[in-house]
Chain A
């Protein structure tokens, strides 16, 4: 049991009024003198009463006793006592409010969302704020955001709380925890409160330097939503569009799924989904030109979350993969020639300004660009002071491939163990792989004395460097080579969005190729537009898309591109609360019992008690009169 606290402890000074009350009582206590014939009977009566009444001493001054109790009750009520809910013992309390998409789900038919409940709970905590307690408000979804500094100004905190709105992003706890950790260095933070619906990842890679109190708001009703939308090229001018619909309820929920192409309905399916059994629907879409697909879900029953009911996907133009392979790279040309949907250019020099894939053994591309460039037998100029390549002589030890990054897109399922290489690349000037990384290069194939293959990303472009010439190795004669070429082709198709495209989740729009250094206007689903400027390489990057919907990019009055986003989070759509979260060292339970736990004010109880005492006092001193009259 916790002792009650007081909102107005200075009211205790009013207890000093007990002194004048007692003084006035005894000054005013002048009993009427009544002369009677003899005290004999009354003395025996009083003696008898004292013997039979153990509280006679109190009763002799019962009026004073009642008045003292009455005054003390009034003063206690004035001090505004309360039964504490706990957080007042914490001096600095960061409160992290979950604003992820699931928090906007309705908990009932009254359109009250989980976030509304969370805000009410935080209001209760702000109302409970007293003493030296200070609260800092944070919101988080996929990232964190600080709303206020540590403050005990309830008005400031409430104003900040009014601005809290749900986002269309999935929840991610670690970033905001790191923000709170940063704040814990400036103030003595013992505990951090997380107000969430529990719809979080059950594993967070974060070492907790403070106690975490995860409070869960009640979960709402059922939900159906689109959690995945991809398109895979099924023919020269056709796509298979996959849409996955998931539910949050154990019972099967029903909905209609419609697929729209540039605003026109091209498919409709009836959906049955539950938390155990999501449904994947395939639409076959004929499209030669780029098109904007929209999948919309219309639930037949209560659907607590609306933002996961629409997803947009951009279909690109269907065309063959444009590949340039240098004139003398016969092994590469031979391997590429068997790839379907490929338009191979084997001229002496690149003839097109843009390719989807360039494989070359010269550094000068003559102005051509490609998202993927594979250099064969070349050391980048900026690394020539770190790496030297020379032919293997008879006295040299053979080149050994020590290890390779098997998760790299190009090296998946590629076995390089027995490949013989006639050129040796080795570190010079005490260089190592870290020195390469500092210059932006990643080693994909490690040799015994130096790197054999490097990767470098330049914006949307990815460059691969074989530091040895593949023709001076046994690689073209290995099974690994066609696999390697196939990987390169597949990766190029993906980069060119020619084989498979996926819908974009909320957050940041994918990079869009536009004119360089030009300002564009972005009009999102919300009112208003904002300007973004393309990079010198002609790419629009970092365009914020926090809300689910279609984003139109204008160049003045001209519509340049339309891109849509969707929530696309099975975690958020499932609305599934986790009971425990595993952090790096500890497990923290999410507790729904503590929800909306606020201080209980008891001043009115004391005031009511004082009123009862007043009535009792009145009755007690009036009843004798009534009794005699009767």
Chain B
């Protein structure tokens, strides 16, 4: 299985991703007119013999894809195995990248100083162990806005590729600027929203006082049962917004439930939506 980027934003360094024409792989791509200075080895002499004009034969270039995995490990992700599922998916995406000779880096967004927050970019199958160790070391917690975490990540990141955001995207902020930053850095924005079942279909009633797990702020709700339909409207609206923001930046978006099994998520949802190729 391998990741299926939409625009093939790759690095100059050789990799296993066919980045486009002008490469040196064995896969033919196209012809073009000869220009002075071109390597004579790429002139198609058979065409020249027939047409009496030199054409350069172009091949697909295999370049390296940088896969950046951002795992939201804030307190909100600690609900109902959302973080666990995010870590599992991050491991899956990371392994896919490493197994296909991509550069993979990972970032965890949390406020635990004793826990790792960044896995530097690397490639090769030997990095799988580092990746898994990194993810296992992330337990999460704290209040880290996702947009701030993206800015932090971009300070350390170099290279084009894919930025996979594994988060619940439950933030008060507008993510447009963060996604623009990612796109400007040459990264396709792949957003994966992981929500628990209680967030997707809450079962609430009566007068409640909600406490934010990250900030501790409270919100009084009267007759929560009456607001459920409005909640669903807002959740669907947020999904659509995120979808538009991601697709507008040559990316993808998917919203999955943490209650859905990993197998179903990987081999069903993500395959159907073209995230991965089998």
Partner-contacting stretch, out of B27-35, B116-124, B166-174, B264-272: B166-174
Complex contact B220–A31 (CB within 8 A): yes
- Nearest-neighbour CB distance to chain A for B112, whole angstroms, equals 17
B80 (CB) vs chain A CBs: closest residue? A37
Decide: A45 near B196, CB < 8 A? Known: A34-B209, A624-B205, A624-B225.
no
Complex contact A59–B219 (CB within 8 A): no
* Chain B residues within 8 Å of A35, by CB: 210-211, 213
Chain A window 324-349, contacts with chain B (Cβ cutoff 8 Å), 1 for yes, 0 for no: 00000000000000000000000000
Decide: A40 near B172, CB < 8 A? Known: A34-B211, A624-B223.
yes
* Chain A residues within 8 Å of B81, by CB: none
Complex contact A45–B171 (CB within 8 A): no
* Chain B residues within 8 Å of A49, by CB: 227, 230
Decide: A37 near B211, CB < 8 A? Known: A62-B222, A624-B206, A628-B228.
no
Of A36, A48, A60, which contacts B210 at CB under 8 A?
A36
B203 sits at the interface (CB 8 A) = yes
A185 sits at the interface (CB 8 A) = no
* Chain B residues within 8 Å of A60, by CB: 220, 222
Which residues of A line the B interface, CB within 8 A?
Answer: 29, 31-46, 48-49, 59-63, 621, 624-625, 627-628
* Chain B residues within 8 Å of A46, by CB: 219, 221, 227
- Nearest-neighbour CB distance to chain A for B213, whole angstroms, equals 5
In the complex, how many residue pairs between chain A and chain B have their CB atoms under 8 Å apart?
102
A30 (CB) vs chain B CBs: closest residue? B209
Decide: A40 near B171, CB < 8 A? Known: A45-B234, A46-B219, A48-B230.
yes
CA distance A199 to B41 in the complex (A): 138
* Chain A residues within 8 Å of B204, by CB: 34
Complex contact B212–A45 (CB within 8 A): no
* Chain A residues within 8 Å of B213, by CB: 35-38
A38 (CB) vs chain B CBs: closest residue? B170
* Chain A residues within 8 Å of B225, by CB: 624-625, 627-628
Complex contact B222–A43 (CB within 8 A): no
B6 sits at the interface (CB 8 A) = no
- Nearest-neighbour CB distance to chain A for B255, whole angstroms, equals 13
- Nearest-neighbour CB distance to chain B for A380, whole angstroms, equals 108
A620 (CB) vs chain B CBs: closest residue? B223
B79 sits at the interface (CB 8 A) = yes
- Nearest-neighbour CB distance to chain A for B226, whole angstroms, equals 6
B204 (CB) vs chain A CBs: closest residue? A34
| B229-266 interface (Cβ within 8 A of A) | 230-231, 234-235, 238
Among A42, A61, A621, A627, which residue has the most Cβ atoms of chain B within 10 A?
A: A42
* Chain B residues within 8 Å of A628, by CB: 203, 205, 225, 228
B76 sits at the interface (CB 8 A) = yes
| B165-204 interface (Cβ within 8 A of A) | 168, 170-172, 196, 199, 203-204
* Chain B residues within 8 Å of A36, by CB: 79, 199, 210-213
B214 sits at the interface (CB 8 A) = yes
- Nearest-neighbour CB distance to chain B for A625, whole angstroms, equals 6
CA distance A38 to B235 in the complex (A): 13
B136 sits at the interface (CB 8 A) = no
CA distance A624 to B228 in the complex (A): 10
B220 (CB) vs chain A CBs: closest residue? A31
Q: What would 22 A/B residue contacts be, using CB atoms closer than 8 Å?
A: A31-B209, A32-B206, A32-B207, A33-B208, A34-B208, A34-B211, A36-B199, A37-B77, A37-B78, A37-B196, A38-B171, A38-B213, A38-B214, A39-B210, A40-B171, A41-B199, A43-B172, A62-B222, A624-B205, A624-B224, A625-B205, A625-B225
B217 sits at the interface (CB 8 A) = yes
- Nearest-neighbour CB distance to chain B for A485, whole angstroms, equals 111
Of B78, B172, B207, B235, which contacts A31 at CB under 8 A?
B207
* Chain B residues within 8 Å of A62, by CB: 222-223
B202 (CB) vs chain A CBs: closest residue? A36
A60 (CB) vs chain B CBs: closest residue? B222
Complex contact B205–A39 (CB within 8 A): no
Of A33, A41, A48, which contacts B211 at CB under 8 A?
A33
B79 (CB) vs chain A CBs: closest residue? A37
- Nearest-neighbour CB distance to chain B for A63, whole angstroms, equals 8
CA distance A46 to B221 in the complex (A): 8
CA distance A332 to B196 in the complex (A): 139
* Chain B residues within 8 Å of A48, by CB: 230, 234
* Chain A residues within 8 Å of B214, by CB: 37-38
CA distance A379 to B84 in the complex (A): 145
CA distance A48 to B218 in the complex (A): 17
CA distance A621 to B213 in the complex (A): 28
Complex contact B205–A44 (CB within 8 A): no
Complex contact A41–B210 (CB within 8 A): no
CA distance A63 to B168 in the complex (A): 35
Complex contact A41–B209 (CB within 8 A): no
Of A38, A63, A621, which contacts B212 at CB under 8 A?
A38
| B74-89 interface (Cβ within 8 A of A) | 75-79, 82
Decide: A38 near B203, CB < 8 A? Known: A33-B211, A624-B223.
no
Complex contact A42–B172 (CB within 8 A): no
Of B77, B211, B219, B230, which contacts A43 at CB under 8 A?
B219
10 closest A-B pairs by beta carbon, nearest first, are: A624-B225, A38-B170, A37-B76, A31-B209, A39-B212, A37-B79, A38-B76, A35-B211, A40-B170, A624-B205
